[in-house]
Structure 1
Amino acid sequence: MFKLTSLNLNGLRSAATKGVADWVAELAPDCICMQEIRVQASDIEGRFEAMAGLKGYFHFAEKKGYAGTAAYTKHEPSEVVVGWGDPEFDAEGRYLELRFDTPKRKFSVISCYFPSGSSGEERQAAKFRFLEGFFPHLIALKREREFVLCGDINIAHKEIDLKNWRGNQKNSGFLPEERAWMTKLLDAGVEGAGLVDVYRLLKPDTTDEAYTWWSNRGQAYAKNVGWRLDYHLATPGTARLARNEQIFKTLKFSDHAPITVDYDLTL
């Protein structure tokens, strides 16, 4: 069984002070993908190269204290791909791909942090640029290999994926254009990418317990006024190997909750 976790940390150093390393040790995943690590190489040295016995790989943003992705794994990757080829978003450290290739199978785990558009029109426009460019990248990758993309997608796909869907239809993360992009991503038809939302494959009708992000405003977490923003998006062959999922909420390392899926595969 291959245990794979995704977690937006909202800062690796901040999460470290809240015990994330001890939790990872207890969870014992094969691989954990992290987003919004907000560190540079100099911050990693001598402190975060490994976590709970897992070796770390990183894609740092050029801007200090901003974005960035990481993946810690107990399996040695055959190749590490840093960035997906778009200069604008590669500069923000948004894509890290670990490849675990064998003569029989090409398989990747991807840690990805989609832009948020909630700060204003400029960042929403950047988010739309990201979505437009990233879609063909995923289609091309799917032709070549099996993969699971773990990450903070910053989109709640359907009405069951957030508490107050009626009041958020004009807000970033639940805009019609963003939701349509997700629908196309998951469409197995000619125009779609044919990826699988693994959580929804396992839990098609779950509402309140599906949330992975809560606003820091008001008492959103206490009242579970949440959104499902963190996903495992897999190629169909890999998605069929998903056996169970867990969204961990006992401890809070950031404003996101980690999501773990067990896949019936070995590397």
Structure 2
Amino acid sequence: MKIASINVNGIRGAVERGLLDWIAEQDADVICIQNLKEKSFEFEEALLYPSGYEGYFLDAEEDGVSGVGIYCKQIPKAIMYGLGFEQCDNEGRFLQADYDKFSVVSFLMPEEPHAKQRFITQYTEYLTKLSRKRREYILCGTWNIAHKTIDLAHWADYQGTPGFRPEERAFMDQVFGPLGFIDTFREIKRDGGHYTYWPKLDSDLPRQRQDGWRLDYQVVGPNLQRTIKNAWVDTNATFSEHAPLIVEYDLPL
């Protein structure tokens, strides 16, 4: 099974830069998208059902911000919209597709530090409950936190910067420590220099030479650790400041 996750930072602009062509080329089973910044009821058919996929979306109440979606080749057993707390649900930050033996989530963490910290408090409660469930989950999306120093170019210059603050990194320590979740990308790639976000989308410099951040993750529980077969960042896809994160699992739908 192949899952791709991408923060499009505005789906209209991403489509203009080739998003739909990229989706058609991937042959992924599930594609999680974040930061739609559009209302899905205004989408044309090409966005609702791109290249044989069925689209599901959770819009933000406010215009022009956040919103998440999931494109599925195989129709899920159920879709769960939100987590039941206002900051998450009203801002369109969590969407879950349930299959027989596992669920796939498209997730978007707030960027603003105070909003992020409020969200982390409630999200930690959710993750704690999730870690005790027998069902397996694949949490895909933008966490807006670079966890380790190898996840941020020139990290010494960014200490205390939102996205690399000690309290944010401590939260990720908890996720990948006591809570027992697995950073799928780091199961495959243990070295530095791998990023998913570059602030300058239209820079003439190739992404490999720009200052990058690894802000996007696919996170699973320990029971799925052995199913992780490959993981990579598609740095050639430039329809957003974020690059797609793609992970292959030895899991049937």
TM-score (norm: length of structure 2):
0.95
- Corresponding residue for 1:126? 115
1:7-18 matches, cutoff 5 A? 7-18=6-17
Decide which of 205, 212, 215 is 2:196's aligned counterpart: 212
Within 2, Cα distance between the matches of 1:141 and 1:73? 23
- Corresponding position of 1:197: 183
CA contact (8 A) 1:78 1:100 kept: yes
Q: What's the CA shift for 1:239?
A: 2.5
How many residues are aligned here? 250
Is 1:35 aligned to residue 25 of structure 2?
no
Query: In the superposition, relative to structure 1, how do residues 53 and 197 fare at CA in structure 2: closer, same or farther (>3 Å)?
Result: same
Structure-1 separation of matches of 2:2 and 2:201: 33
Encode CA deviations 1:185-239: one digit per residue, 9 max, x unaligned: 111xxxx2110001011112x211x100011289595322100000011111123
Letter in 2 for 1:174: F
Match of 2:223 in 1: 237
Which of 171, 190, 197 pairs up with 1:181? Answer: 171
**Following TM superposition, by how much is the alpha carbon of 1:30 offset from its aligned partner in structure 2, in angstroms?**
0.1
Please state how far the C-alpha of 1:141 moved relative to its aligned partner.
2.2
Instruction: Name segments (4+ residues, structure 1) moved above 6 Å.
Output: none
1:115 correspondence with 2:110? yes
Does the CA contact (< 8 Å) of 2:2 and 2:247 recur in 1? Answer: yes
| 1:5-154 → structure 2 map (5 Å cutoff) | 5-101=4-100, 105=101, 107-117=102-112, 124-144=113-133, 145-154=135-144
| Distance in structure 2 (CA, Å) of the matches to 1:243 and 1:60 | 32
Change (3 A) 1:202 1:42: same
Aligned residues of 1:55 and 1:74 also touching (Cα < 8 A): yes
Return closer, same or farther for 1:257/1:218 CA change in 2, 3 Å cut-off. Answer: closer
Q: Quick one: distance in 1 between partners of 2:165 and 2:204? A: 20
Amino acid of the structure 2 residue aligned with 1:111: S
How far the C-alpha of 1:172 sits from its partner, in A, is 0.3
Secondary structure of 1:126 counterpart: helix
- Contact in 2 for aligned 1:245/1:260 (Cα 8 Å): yes
- How far did 1:47 drift? 4.0
| RMSD over aligned Cα atoms | 1.5
CA–CA separation in structure 1 for the residues paired with 2:88 and 2:80: 14
Given that 2:56 and 2:69 are in contact with CA atoms closer than 8 Å, whether structure 1 keeps it comes out as yes
Describe the superposition over 1:66-119 as per-residue Cα deviations: whole angstroms up to 9, x where unpaired. Answer: 100000011111110000111122110000010102xxx3x10000000002xx
The answer to whether structure 1 residue 155 and structure 2 residue 141 are counterparts is no
* 1-structure distance, mates of 2:132, 2:98: 15
Q: Is the 8 A contact 1:248 1:259 kept in 2?
A: yes
Change (3 A) 1:220 1:163: farther
In the alignment, residue 207 of structure 1 is paired with which amino acid? G
Residue type at the aligned position of 2:169:
R
Matched-pair contact (CA < 8 Å) for 1:35–1:111: yes
CA distance in 1, matches of 2:246, 2:70: 14
Does structure 1 retain, via aligned residues, the 8 Å contact 2:185–2:232? no
The percentage of aligned residue pairs carrying the same residue is: 39
Q: 1:85 to 1:157 in 2, by over 3 A?
A: same
TM normalised by structure 1 equals 0.90
CA contact (8 A) 1:161 1:227 kept: yes
Cα distance in 2, alignment partners of residues 200 and 42 from structure 1: 37
Deviation at 1:156, TM superposition (A): 0.1
Q: Write out per-residue CA displacement over residues 14-72 of structure 1, whole angstroms, 9 at most, x where no aligned residue.
A: 11111111111111100000000111133224342111211000010001111000000
Which range is displaced more, 234-243 or 39-48? 39-48
Is 1:168 the counterpart of 2:158 in the alignment? yes
Letter in 2 for 1:212: T
